[in-house]
Amino acid sequence: MDFAYILEALPDLMTGLKTTLIVSFLAIFLSCLIGLVGAVLRKSGIKPLQYAVTAYVEFIRGTPYLVQIFFIFYGLPSLGLRFSIFWSGVIALTAWASAFQIENFRAGLAAVGSGMHDASASLGLKRWQHSIFIILPLATRAALPSAMNTIVATVKNSAYLQAIGLVELTFVAVDRIAYDFRAIEMFASICVIYLICVFTISGLGYMVERRLSRPFGGR
Amino acid sequence: MLLLEFQSFLLDGLLNTLFLSSVMIAGGTFFAVIFAAGLSAQSGWLRRPVYALVECLRDIPLMVTVLMVYFVLPHAGLSFNPFWSSALSVSVWGGANGAHIIRAGLLSVPSGQREAALSSGLRGWKGLFLVIVPQAMPVILPPYVSLVTSLTQASSLGAVLGVNELLRSAQILIEQTTIARGGSPAYLVYGSILVVYFALCWSISALGAKLERHFAKPYQRTNGKTGLARPTVVLQISTT
């Protein structure tokens, strides 16, 4: 193990890490938003919309993520939709993560008991007040553990985007290996970096979970 | 039509995908059993390293594991061709995820069952396979089936190393026709193989559901009186 070499490669790796984090955060933000909307649509009672959301979730979960990326990056331009590598990556990662977030939030919504509805009706809350002040906080809390899992998986799956040439952490490492043949050093460093990212996000998620379960006498 | 014209070429890719994913499923199960045994070991000197290895495999992106096995193992004198390299890396990853599924399933069987098996003279392997495993199956199977579909999907990672499976065949077909005829048929070809993969995973899920029903049978013929209480453990499998 040549630590001097790792130190020399570190600025490059950090540039890659920056792209990894930017793409991941965009995808996490968008997928949580889409997940929430999708879960609400799935409960909306409008049959065609429900079927569409279910079909989307099943299709994304039933097909390889790598093929989805290739379809979005290479396939969509011939249909008239041309995106840069960066935005193709964001779209592919968002499309993948959204399917899982829809499922997570759907389970979260299902966990809120129907007694809440009667309770807020008896307190004279309007429908929108009920949805935003009662259901949303409770459903978010119930969905959080599995949503955190998907968020961590989103960061990990940003590594797949090296296949379309997005210059993120894994791409930088593989690119340097092609020139310098220092495979052990490069993979050791990116493994450590990914582990740090994953542990940090899991830790943050755990803190948020504890904060949110405070009103319920949680630890 | 392009797809029909090159159907034998794509069919070869599909066959390779089927073979590769079978190897990955078999290998994943093999490693899952080994890791699960390691995780349940009495001695901490065995359990802790296995736990650390399993956690690392679950937390490092699969793409990185696949590339790492391909690039790093030759430094240790172990050279595999792309097929076996991707098979090995995905199997180990599947094993790490499967180990937790198997362990949680075995733990969900009440300890009284183990004791009952012992008192009936079913010791060791016999007790495990005749008494514990059949009862653990309803807990193990649902997440395990979704792991198997994940492994099938992960076989497309072979394309990154250049294994000639379905995704790689599609890439080659697109490159060749773009050069030869102009105009990229990418959306058509990738769209079609998306459908093929979907059908494949859907069949696996259907088969899995059938198997689940088989193992759930003893719990179904209850009229609320005689049947066994069905063990419930909620498991979360990391999603890729």
Give me the sign of the Cα torsion angle B123, B26, B145, B214.
negative
* Vertex A144 angle, CA A139 and A150, to 5°: 125
Q: Measure the CA–CA gap between A67 and A166, rounded to whole angstroms.
A: 16
Nearest to A59 among B72, B156, B198 (CB): B198
Secondary structure percentages of chain A, helix, strand, coil, to 5: 85, 0, 15
pLDDT of residue A217: 64
Pick the most confident of A155-164, A205-214, B231-240: A155-164
Convert the pLDDT of each residue in A100-125 to its tens digit.
999 999 999 888 877 887 888 888 88
pLDDT (average), residues B77-100 = 92
Which parts of A112-168 fold into alpha helices (H)?
115-122, 127-129, 136-157
B170 CA: distance to closest CA in chain A (Å)? 10
Residue A190: burial class (beta carbons within 10 Å; 0-12, 13-18, 19+):
buried
Residue with tokens 């540039």: A15
- pLDDT above 90 as % of chain B: 53
For the segment B7-35, what is each residue's pLDDT rounded down to a tens digit?
A: 888 889 999 999 999 999 999 999 999 99
Q: How many domains does chain A fold into?
A: 1
Split at pLDDT 50, 70, 90, the class of A219 is very low
Window from A135-144, A200-209, B173-182, B217-226 with minimum mean pLDDT: B217-226
Q: CA dist B80 to A27, A198, B63, B94, B155, Å?
A: 35, 30, 17, 19, 16
Task: Tell me the CATH number at A114.
Answer: 1.10.3720.10
Side chain identity, residue A218 = G
Name the one residue in this structure whose structure tokens are 């965009």: A26
**What's chain B's length in residues?**
240
- What is the pLDDT averaged over residues B84-106? 94
Q: Does A160 touch chain B (CB under 8 A)?
A: yes
Mean pLDDT computed over every residue of chain B: 86
Q: Which domain holds residue A95?
A: 3-216
Residue A24, chain B, CB below 8 Å: the answer is no
Distance between CA atoms of residues B157 and B169, nearest Å = 13
Average pLDDT over residues B170-186: 84
Chain A residues touching B64 at Cβ < 8 A:
159, 170, 187, 190-191, 194
Q: What are the CB-based long-range contacts (under 8 Å, 24+) for A38-43?
A: A38/A98, A38/A101, A38/A102, A38/A105, A38/A106, A39/A102, A39/A104, A39/A105, A39/A106, A39/A108, A39/A109, A40/A109, A42/A102, A42/A106, A43/A106, A43/A109
What is the spatial distance between Cα B139 and Cα A69, in angstroms, rounded to a whole number? 33
More confident residue, B218 or A105: A105
**Structure confidence at residue B238 (pLDDT):** 45
A20: its two tokens: 């990894």
| Radius of gyration of chain A from its Cα atoms, rounded to whole angstroms | 21
More confident position, B192 or B221: B192
Confidence of residue A172 (pLDDT cuts 50, 70, 90): very high
Reported as half-sphere exposure (CB side, CA atoms, 13 A), residue A32 has a value of: 16
Domain B2-220 carries which CATH code?
1.10.3720.10
The reply to whether residue A170 touches residue B198, judged by beta carbons under 8 angstroms, is no
Q: Which two tokens stand for residue A63?
A: 């097909």
- The percent helix, strand, coil of chain B (3-state, each to 5) is 80, 0, 20
Where does the pLDDT of residue B236 fall: very low under 50, low under 70, confident under 90, or very high at 90 and above?
A: very low
Q: For B64-84, what is each residue's pLDDT tens digit?
A: 999 999 999 888 888 889 999
Report chain B residues whose CB lies below 8 A from the CB of A77.
Answer: 184, 186
- A195 at the B interface (CB within 8 A)? yes
**What mean pLDDT do residues A39-52 have?**
88
Phi, psi of A80 (to 5 degrees): 95, 5
Contact B92/B33 with Cβ under 8 angstroms? Answer: no
Please give the residue of chain A at the shortest CA–CA distance from B170. A67
Distance from CA of A6 to the nearest CA of B (A): 16
Q: Within a 13 Å sphere around the CA of A191, how many CA atoms are in the beta-carbon half?
A: 19
**Longest C-alpha distance within chain B, in Å?**
75
**Biggest CA-to-CA distance, chain A:** 70
Q: What pLDDT score was predicted for residue B231?
A: 54
CB neighbour list of residue B126: distance below 8 Å, 6 or more residues apart: B117
Is residue A166 within 8 Å of A19, Cβ to Cβ?
yes
CB pairs under 8 A between A and B: 123
Q: What is the pLDDT of residue A129?
A: 84
How much is the mean pLDDT over chain A? 89
